[in-house]
Structure 1
Amino acid sequence: MGLFDFVGNIGKKIFNKEEDASQAVTNHIAEDNPGIDNVAVTVENGVAKLSGVAATAEAAEKAILMAGNIEGIESVNIDAIKVLNGSLGGDDEFYTIQKGDSLWKIAEKTYGNGAKYTAIVAANKEVIKDENKIFPGQKIRLPKSL
């Protein structure tokens, strides 16, 4: 399945020392679990290695984004994730927020209608906790089927 790259020096800060990172990232994903049984994360040198059983490809993608949008995580490895239904890279795509972006602008550019930003928020509820607080470098999912 692979390795997904992120910007390591941005995002939500949930750990101070790398020795605390594995438990902190595991807890972070478990709090808003997108559908991964037995989720566990080990972090070494900025790489978060996720393991567990994802009910769907969407659940795996959400876990990737949850881990990758944490400060101190430079990439996410999901070779140890088993996906029960679907395959990664299906209908949705990842999008990296750019300077000057708003969810309205992204929806307008992607769907031709800025009001559809609510679908972006819904598809990223584990990553976007406040629709007014997105940041450049943050990665989100853009649903293709609306």
Structure 2
Amino acid sequence: MGLFDFVGNIGKKIFGKDEDPSKAVTNHIAEDNPGIENVSVTVEDGVAKISGDATSASALEKAILMAGNIAGVESVNVDAVKLANGEQLATEDEFYVIQKGDTLSAIAKKFYGNAAKYPAIVAANKEVIKDADKIFPGQKIRVPKVL
């Protein structure tokens, strides 16, 4: 399925030098589990390798974003994840990297022509956007094509 790149030096700080990054990222995904059974993550040299059984392509995309938006993770490898029902990871949703000065309403205006549709972006990213007022440059999110 592949390798997904992220900005490694920014993002949510969930582990320090003395903590086990693999355990911290696994626990982070398991807390808000988007639909990955038997999830396990190993983090080595900035690469988070996710394994488990995804209930859908959407669930896998959410897990990718959850792992990739962590400080210290530069890329996410999902080759060891099995997708249910032979689904493919190809999605109609678009990935977007938040830029300096962006707001969710500005992103909604750009993609949908209507700033008031930003709740659709928040809903699609509830695992990585806990507070609509707290997004940051370099954060990668999903922008749903279908509302």
TM-score with structure 1 length normalisation? 0.97
Deviation of 1:18 (Å): 7.4
Once residues 124 and 114 of structure 1 are traced to their aligned partners in structure 2, the CA distance between those partners, rounded to angstroms, is 17
Once residues 143 and 124 of structure 1 are traced to their aligned partners in structure 2, the CA distance between those partners, rounded to angstroms, is 10
Deviation of 1:90 (Å): 1.5
- Work out the percentage of aligned pairs sharing the same amino acid: 75
SS of 2:38's partner is: strand
Write out the 4+ residue segments of structure 1 that deviate beyond 3 Å after TM superposition: none
Structure 2, unmatched stretches of 5+, are none
Deviation of 1:88 (Å): 1.5
Within a 5 Å distance, the mapping from 1:28-43 to structure 2 comes to 28-43=28-43
Q: One-letter code of the match for 2:59?
A: A
Once residues 55 and 18 of structure 1 are traced to their aligned partners in structure 2, the CA distance between those partners, rounded to angstroms, is 33
Once residues 17 and 45 of structure 1 are traced to their aligned partners in structure 2, the CA distance between those partners, rounded to angstroms, is 13
Once residues 124 and 19 of structure 1 are traced to their aligned partners in structure 2, the CA distance between those partners, rounded to angstroms, is 27
Query: Is 2:81 the counterpart of 1:109?
Result: no
Aligned to 2:76: 76
SS of 1:67's partner is: helix
Structure 1, unmatched stretches of 5+, are none
Aligned to 2:89: 88
Once residues 19 and 116 of structure 1 are traced to their aligned partners in structure 2, the CA distance between those partners, rounded to angstroms, is 39
Name the stretch that deviates more: 117-126 or 13-22: 13-22
Once residues 29 and 21 of structure 2 are traced to their aligned partners in structure 1, the CA distance between those partners, rounded to angstroms, is 12
CA 1:78–1:136 in 2, change beyond 3 Å: closer, same or farther? same
1:68-114 per-residue CA deviation (whole Å, 9 max, x = no partner) reads: 00000000000001111432231111100001100000000000111
Name the stretch that deviates more: 125-134 or 14-23: 14-23
SS of 1:43's partner is: strand
Aligned to 1:129: 130
RMSD across aligned positions (CA):
1.0
Q: One-letter code of the match for 1:119?
A: A
Aligned to 1:47: 47
Aligned to 1:26: 26
SS of 2:84's partner is: strand
Aligned to 2:59: 59
SS of 1:116's partner is: helix
